[in-house]
Amino acid sequence: MHSYDYLWLIPLFPLLGALINGLLGKKIKNETVIGAIGTLAIASSFVISVIYFFRLLGDSQKVHEQVIASWISVGTLQVDWGFLFDPLSALMLLVVTGVGSLIHLYSIGYMHGEEGYYRYFSYLNLFCFSMLMLVLGNNALVMFIGWEGVGLCSYLLIGYYFHKKSAGDAAKKAFVVNRVGDFGFLLGLFLLFWTLGSAHGVWTVNFVEIQANAHLLGAGGAIVTAITLLFFLGATGKSAQIPLYTWLPDAMEGPTPVSALIHAATMVTAGVYMIARMNGLFAMAPDTMMVIAIVGAATAIFAASIGLAQNDIKRVLAYSTVSQLGFMFLAVGVGAFTAGVFHLMTHAFFKACLFLGSGSVIHAMHHALHHAHVHDDPQDMRNMGGLRKHMPITHITFLVATLAIAGVPLFSGFFSKDEILHWAIGSTHGHWGLWLVALFTAGLTAFYMFRLVFMTFYGQERMVEKAKKHLHESPAVITIPLIVLAVLSVFGGYVGVPELMWGAHRLEHFLDPVFGATMATYGIGMLPHSAAFEWGMVAAAVIVATSGILLAVFMYHMRPDLPGKVVASFQGAYRTIHNKWYVDEIYDALFVNPTKRLGTFLWKGFDVKGIDGIVNGLGKLVQLFSGALRITQSGLVHNYALTMVLGMVVIVAFYVFR
């Protein structure tokens, strides 16, 4: 008998951390104490997560629910404060609390000396609390609390430097765009709840019950397609997919560790997690699955194309995140739930490492430029170059993570990305077109990531002369998380080595209790292929990745004059992708400005001129009449007496002569 009675402690610790730092942080003042409280809070959750993870490994029963209390109880709607602990949430807990702990540790050094240090740690803990609620919730409403909670924390942390207008704008944009997604999430939930309830008598928002009863909706039906598409709209908001990805690049206004934790490793994967959580529902809607796969592939290549032409180190990583999330959606869209979750995990490792590495670079650049008294942009790669000599640890860890994201064999990203590519072409829900797009995107990824590496760490040192001597490696509190994440970026993939490569794919077996039944019921799986075909696919992926890397080596290392020439000869195309295909401008013209104009019209035109115009007009009319009637109200008693007499005469006359 295995017990998971203290599951509730996992979200509770960071909540307490957030409250302590939020309420008392100003009095504590001491940065070390504040940072320690924040880090210990999430580290404690990590410890429990690890213990329970191993307990679950040895447990024959894989799905555990824990109900704390009733939350909302109104008629047929019964919602509990309840948690669900199964292989999927167990794995997510490890990722969130593990990567989260490292990033808290890193932040102690990175945020040193920032105003509102306590505020930062309070928000970061609050984020972890929300993310853990999202992951652990046993029903859609508790998940939604986490879902919106992480949105709130994202808002607060993007707007951390709130005195900058760009930060305030980005924060607001992130929340509002996510709300568009929430619109879908809510309607999907209503439709699901109402359909299952009224037509089949199952009134529930509980995930286990949804999974068990989803089949009642009828596979392939219009309703289930509508439900899943609405939920997917929610996912495109949170996970920055077309058409709602535009907030994520702007979100880079937040401190860099925030970008690593929230906008790369954890929160943005919530959409993938949500679909994986409701796999039984999505599997019944093949049309939705196809839409998800296409949107995922399209987002992947689209974002990668923008990543080619950005010069801000964090922006490149931001578009890369959007692109990699596209890979995850492609995976779940073709029924490769395990591969999607696998890539979610490896991506959390290498992308967190990349973002934290970029933070280390920015930190050093900022410091050096500051001491040199110049106002160059510390995030612009055109001011960098040759940093590997000054920052060896950052350089090595960054390089390792780049090899992982590029899909170089034996690094973690290779296994997860390869599995997605494999399913894209070979699964029952796959298509060679999807595979081709994904493969090409993998090549682009390798190219733009090595472009970034070369522009940052190799070649000439392009920063101002005075700044060079101030460049130095970051302190241990920053480099230790980098090293740990780099190690994970290498070995994190070994839990999912496929049988083809003489592995056992432990991850697939571990997640089988979550996905197995769905895959079997709806016939989702790999079509039979010969080993030669499969090895051919692997070879194609490796060749494409290598080509991307070699092209970057050629253009940005051997012939640094070349990129300028290429840009010069493709001016129009370059400007279009550099300006992100003008999507923000298009959205402004299509949605933002018309809404504002409508608001102004309704206010000044309809409210003030229209309704009040009528009301005031009536008032004027009454005044006009009363002006005429006032003549009769002379105030002279004999006039009134005369009127009364006349009136009586009329009445009497009426009765006499009728």
Partner 1 sequence: MTDHLLSLMTFFPILGMVALLFLPKENGNLIKGFTLVVTIIVFFISLPLAFNDVFKTSAGMHYTEFVPWISVGEFFTMNYSVGVDGISLWLILLTTFIMPIAILSTWHAVDKNVKGFMALALLLETAMLGAFISLDLFLFYIFWELMLIPMYFMIGIWGGKNRIYAAVKFFIFTAVGSLLMLVAVIYVYYYAIQSGIDMSGFSITQFYQVAIPAEIQTWLFLAFAFSFAIKVPMFPVHTWLPDAHTEAPTAGSVILAAILLKMGTYGFLRFAMPLFPDATHQFIPFLALLSVIGIIYGALVAMMQDDIKKLVAYSSVSHLGFVMLGVFALNLQGLSGGMIQMINHGITTGALFLIVGFLYERRHTREIAQFGGLAKRMPIFATIFLIMTFSSIGLPGTNGFVGEFLILMGAFESQLRWFAVFATTGVILAAVYMLWMYQRVMFGELKNPANEKLKDLSGREIALMAPLLLFVFWIGLYPNPFFEKMTPALEQLLQQVNGTEIVAMVEPAQIQLPELK
Among residue numbers 602 through 621, which ones bind partner 1 (CB under 8 A)? 602-603, 607, 611-612, 615, 619
Query: Is the distance from CB of 317 to CB of 264 less than 8 angstroms?
Result: yes
Rg, Å, the chain Cα set: 31
Nearer to partner 1, 6 or 601 (CB): 601
Query: What does DSSP say about strands 64-74 and 77-85: parallel, antiparallel, or unpaired?
Result: antiparallel
Give 239's contacts (C-beta < 8 A, 6+ positions apart).
268, 269, 270, 271, 272, 325, 328, 329
Chain mean position to CA 631: 73
d(CA 28, CA 22): 10
CA distance 158 to 256: 10
Do 582 and 572 contact (CB within 8 A), yes or no? no
Which residues in 166-254 belong to E strands, given as ranges? none
| Cα 589 from Cα 192, distance rounded (Å) | 34
- Interface with partner 1, residue 167, by CB under 8 A: yes
Q: Which of 74, 527, 531, 631 binds partner 1 (CB under 8 A)?
A: 74
Partners of residue 427 on adjacent β-strands: 526
For residues 202 and 487, which CB has a smaller minimum distance to partner 1 in the complex?
202
Under 8 Å between Cβ of 191 and 223: yes
Residue 71 near partner 1 by CB under 8 A: yes
Helix (H) or strand (E) holding 187: helix 165-200
| Tally of CA atoms within 13 A in the half-sphere of 550 that contains its CB | 6
- Within residues 13-52, the interface with partner 1 by CB under 8 A covers 26
Residues of span 124-163 touching partner 1 by CB under 8 A: 141, 144-145, 147-149, 152, 155, 159, 162-163
**Could you tell me the smallest distance in angstroms from the CB atom of residue 598 to partner 1?**
6
* Residues in Cβ contact with 196 at an 8 Å cutoff, skipping those fewer than 6 apart: 202, 203, 204, 210, 213, 216, 217
Shortest distance (Å) from residue 345 CB to partner 1: 27
Closest distance between partner 1 and the C-beta of residue 443, in Å? 38
User: Among residues 191 and 477, whose Cβ is nearest to partner 1?
Assistant: 191
Report if residue 117 touches partner 1, rule: CB under 8 A. no
344 Cβ contact partners less than 8 Å away, ≥ 6 residues apart: 95, 269, 272, 273, 328
- Cβ distance to partner 1 smaller for residue 233 or 344: 233
Indicate the residue among 182 and 534 with the shorter CB distance to partner 1: 182
Q: How many residues bind partner 1 (CB under 8 A)?
A: 57
* Candidate residues 30, 61, 600, 626; the one interacting with partner 1 per rule CB under 8 A: 600
> Which C-beta is closer to partner 1: that of 165 or that of 373?
165
Q: Which of residues 171-210 bind partner 1 (CB under 8 A)?
A: 171-172, 175-176, 179-180, 182-183, 186-187, 190-191, 193-194, 197-199, 201, 203
What is the SS3 assignment for 136? Answer: helix
Interface characters, 558-597, with partner 1 (x: CB under 8 A): -------------------------------------xx-
Identify the DSSP state of 139: B
Which region among 69-77, 412-420, 481-489, 495-503 touches partner 1 (by CB under 8 A)? Answer: 69-77
Interface with partner 1 (CB under 8 A): 26, 69-77, 141, 144-145, 147-149, 152, 155, 159, 162-165, 167-169, 171-172, 175-176, 179-180, 182-183, 186-187, 190-191, 193-194, 197-199, 201, 203, 595-596, 598-600, 602-603, 607, 611-612, 615, 619
